[in-house]
Structure 1
Amino acid sequence: MKKLNLFYIFVIFSTLTSRTVDAGLPILGKVVDVVAFGLDVYSFFDSMLGDDETQSTPAPIDYDRIINRISERIEMSTESIVFRIEVQAYISELRNVALTIKQLLAEMEDIVRTKNKDTREELQRRFRNNFDRNKIEMDKVKSLLTFKVEVSGISSTLLSLIANEFECGMTSLEEFQNYYMSLVSDVVALALLNEKLSENSLYNETITSWQTAIRSLFYDMEKQKEECKDKFFELITKDLIRINDPLDLFENNKHKYPYQETDVLYLGGSYCLWSLKAYEKLLNKGKGGTMTFVFINDEENVLSHTSEQLQKVVSNAKYGNCLDDTGKILSYFDVLGKDLVFWLMYPQGQAAEFKILLNHNSTASTISTESDGTKYTTVFYLRSKDPSTNSTLSPSDFDVKSYEKTDEVDESPGLKTWQLGVIIGGSVLVVVVILTVLICKCR
């Protein structure tokens, strides 16, 4: 058995390294994971059905471990997959394969559990007969995803139909991939057990054949994911239009597009906003006097930080002079060797009307300042200035929205001087009017 294992390690490494240069080493590890269950099964039965035929069961630890793994696989093989009606007809083939796998895994479990030699031999014969009868059905997992099927007059592979069903949501695609490759792993284990029970074992040929098939499946799945990633801007724009709640939008982006860091900024109160025109990393929509922005973080943007220099730059911005201050603030950032691409300043007293949802690796900088007794929060994004050009940004490069609402914010616990003046002045005026009326009546 040791010689077989060493040969297997050599075969899987030489085969995959010679054919996976374009796909990269991760696929090598994934293929090893898929066939690992089959190797465990083969090793277990090699021990159980060794030269000592009087041995009814192997070591207790191995026995419990393999029983638990087989039971888990039986449960996983029939997990429900729910799709829309138009895809149901084409996923039924996969369900049939899963049911066949479940049946044969149950027979494998019966062989392991029985302690009677004659009963075990009968179960082994039954397993081999059922395996041979269903081999073509199980082999479908090698190419089922790339079968061309027709839906509404359009011919597509089952894999692309599934990607469309999930709207290219990467988390859902990963979950489906895990489910599908678990079924493949089960078939490999069943195939290797069949070889172990055969008089003329084709163990090495079976391993090599499944390595090639698994590698091809991973390649097809990765290709589909890349096609989905190429549609990212189209897909996230549709989500922005469709989803109004900022938290729902944030969670949607996080789960559907985990490969891309995105922030959601919902603006609902008074604010000062500068947005670089036609900046492709920034998507926005307005609704009912509010604004929602999706900012796409990438390597172009400077990582979030609140250095002393940036604090000084932001402190120079006056909320009341938002339009006039634009050029001055831009020049400050230019001196720091950074381009400003987005700027949001709002009174902290209105923070409840804003939802600033930032990813863990967001490139946003958030700084608090105070001016004329009022506290403000400023959120902004910077990008590294291109060293090969001397161009600088000017206010004309920005779309500016200032004071979307003009509500004044008073954070002091008491009344300000001008408010007291109005109240006192108004009171004096009322007293004067009353006295005048009384004097006129007395006359």
Structure 2
Amino acid sequence: MKTLHVIYTVIAVSVLTVKTAASPVLPILGTAKDVMSFGLDVYSFFDSILGEDETNSTPAPIDYDRIIKRTSERIKMSTETIVSISELHAYLSELRNVAYTVEQLLIQMEGMIKAKSKDTREELQRRFRDNFERQKTEIYKVKSLLTFKVEVSGISSTLLSLIANEFKCRMTSLEEFQNYYMALVSDVVALDLLNEKLSERNLYNEAVGSWETAVESLFDDMEVPKNACRANFVELAMEDISRINDPSELFENLQDKYSNRGTDVLHLSGSYCVWSLKAYDKILQKVKDNNMTFVFMSGEENVQSVTSRQFQKIVSVARFENCIDDKDTTKVISYFDVLDKDLVFWLMYPQDQDAEFQILLGQNSTAETITTESDGTKYRTVVYLRAQDHSTISTLTADDFDLKFYEKAVSVGVSSDLKTWQLGVIIGVLVSVVVN
């Protein structure tokens, strides 16, 4: 097999994340039906204007305007947009060649649609047929281009694998690339079905069946690198957490790169008490300059908690000054257990510390927050729960949690019943820190 040599330079190519104001909005093509729809519409349109009763008149305004608009958008999308990628020059050159060929054939198709006379349309049809047959091998590459292999540093990789590595598993970019590629496939389907319509022997049904199979296969292929990225999510996320110290920047980075996961960032720099379930890989954390940052990743087992009334009752049993006490911890765990919920993370802090905290929750966050008052001080509590697994018989206890208590002496009024061992600047040692 011929080896494609990768050029190790950063090149500007059209692959999908930087959109200009003039760029068209890419259609969301998430299913085989979405990919096939443009081609089916094109075929239906030409079937209506090339039938036995064809006249020289322009097609019905609604159909005409709709097909012209969609064709024009596809012409712009075929070669425009997207991102700078390094180390992929050989593969992307192949992809760009396909996109350029598709663009030229779409322009010819648009000319046929706009033709005012039968003679003009027939001449354009002949040219389209000739050009399509000449370029057929080139544009059919979209069926297999993603899985062609190239050797890089002695390792054989597919285009999809190379792109996933280059994007460092940025899921948003991978999905945008997928949408761009499937839009290109959708264009080729339309061109192929139009060619069948113009052929003496119309194999429409066979062509549709073949493309449906190919499109399903492409979607399956695209899931392979995305699944690999999902499998390495914790390791990849930890690299970002250790590298980025600004909470807002970290939050935006995680939301963008791992759009398939819900991620919240809780940055703590004042007084707080935390209970976090041990050996729960969806809670990542680091400490830097006496600041603690937690990243909570929602999973399918995570649930929105309980009613406000139930939650208020549960929170009221946990006093901030005593929240590191095993008895208080056990009470709260037991309350949730009765409701068939497991507590996986609990944060309580004085409300007047809000300015020192950054609690950044995503749109689909499973966090539950509430404000309570104790001894004249208002507190906020953030809780994450998970649905209990009834296939296992196990009840959580205080020993299942890491307990962290940090207090700035000037921040919280000392209650008369505060235990002696709780006084001081640092009362509990921050433990289980993954990243220093």
Q: What is the TM-score with the length of structure 2 in the denominator?
A: 0.80
Residue in 2 that maps onto 1:203: 204
Q: Aligned pair 1:389/2:390, yes or no?
A: no
Q: CA deviation at 1:280?
A: 1.9
Q: Aligned pair 1:99/2:100, yes or no?
A: yes
Kept in 1, the 8 Å contact 2:372–2:380? The answer is yes
SS at match of 1:65: helix
Alignment of 1:29-428 (within 5 A): 30-305=31-306, 307-323=308-324, 325-337=325-337, 338-384=341-387, 388-389=392-393, 391-394=395-398, 396-409=399-412
Q: CA deviation at 1:53?
A: 4.8
How far apart, in 1, do the equivalents of 2:354 and 2:366 lie?
21
> Where does structure 1 lack aligned partners over 5 or more consecutive residues?
1-27, 411-443
Residue in 2 that maps onto 1:430: none
Q: Write the letter of the residue equivalent to 2:249.
A: D
SS at match of 2:66: helix
Q: CA deviation at 1:363?
A: 3.2
SS at match of 1:238: helix
Q: Write the letter of the residue equivalent to 1:184.
A: V
How far apart, in 2, do the equivalents of 1:386 and 1:82 lie?
43
How far apart, in 2, do the equivalents of 1:170 and 1:126 lie?
41
Moved more, 181-190 or 76-85: 76-85
Kept in 2, the 8 Å contact 1:340–1:381? The answer is yes
Q: Write the letter of the residue equivalent to 1:334.
A: S
The Cα offsets for residues 71-130 of structure 1, whole Å up to 9 and x where unpaired, read as 111011112333332123321110110000000110111112121333222222111111
Kept in 1, the 8 Å contact 2:336–2:343? The answer is no
The Cα offsets for residues 37-57 of structure 1, whole Å up to 9 and x where unpaired, read as 112212222222222354343
How far apart, in 2, do the equivalents of 1:390 and 1:36 lie?
51
Kept in 2, the 8 Å contact 1:265–1:355? The answer is yes
Considering only aligned residues, what root-mean-square deviation do their CA atoms show, in Å?
Answer: 2.4
How far apart, in 2, do the equivalents of 1:168 and 1:356 lie?
25
Kept in 2, the 8 Å contact 1:77–1:183? The answer is yes
Kept in 1, the 8 Å contact 2:333–2:397? The answer is no
- Name the structure where helix makes up a greater proportion of residues: 1
How far apart, in 1, do the equivalents of 2:100 and 2:161 lie?
23
CA gap of 1:209–1:270, structure 2 versus 1, over 3 A, is same
Kept in 1, the 8 Å contact 2:323–2:329? The answer is no
Q: How many residues align?
A: 381
How far apart, in 2, do the equivalents of 1:390 and 1:120 lie?
74
CA gap of 1:193–1:404, structure 2 versus 1, over 3 A, is same
SS at match of 1:262: strand
When Rg is computed on C-alpha atoms for both structures, the one with the higher figure is 1
The Cα offsets for residues 206-226 of structure 1, whole Å up to 9 and x where unpaired, read as 222222211211111123322
SS at match of 2:271: coil
CA gap of 1:256–1:399, structure 2 versus 1, over 3 A, is same
Q: Write the letter of the residue equivalent to 2:58.
A: T
How far apart, in 2, do the equivalents of 1:72 and 1:390 lie?
57
How far apart, in 1, do the equivalents of 2:36 and 2:180 lie?
15
CA gap of 1:191–1:266, structure 2 versus 1, over 3 A, is same
SS at match of 2:59: coil
CA gap of 1:245–1:305, structure 2 versus 1, over 3 A, is farther
Kept in 1, the 8 Å contact 2:78–2:100? The answer is yes
SS at match of 1:210: helix
How far apart, in 2, do the equivalents of 1:322 and 1:343 lie?
10
> Where does structure 2 lack aligned partners over 5 or more consecutive residues?
1-28, 414-436
Q: CA deviation at 1:31?
A: 1.8
CA gap of 1:384–1:192, structure 2 versus 1, over 3 A, is closer
Q: CA deviation at 1:339?
A: 4.3
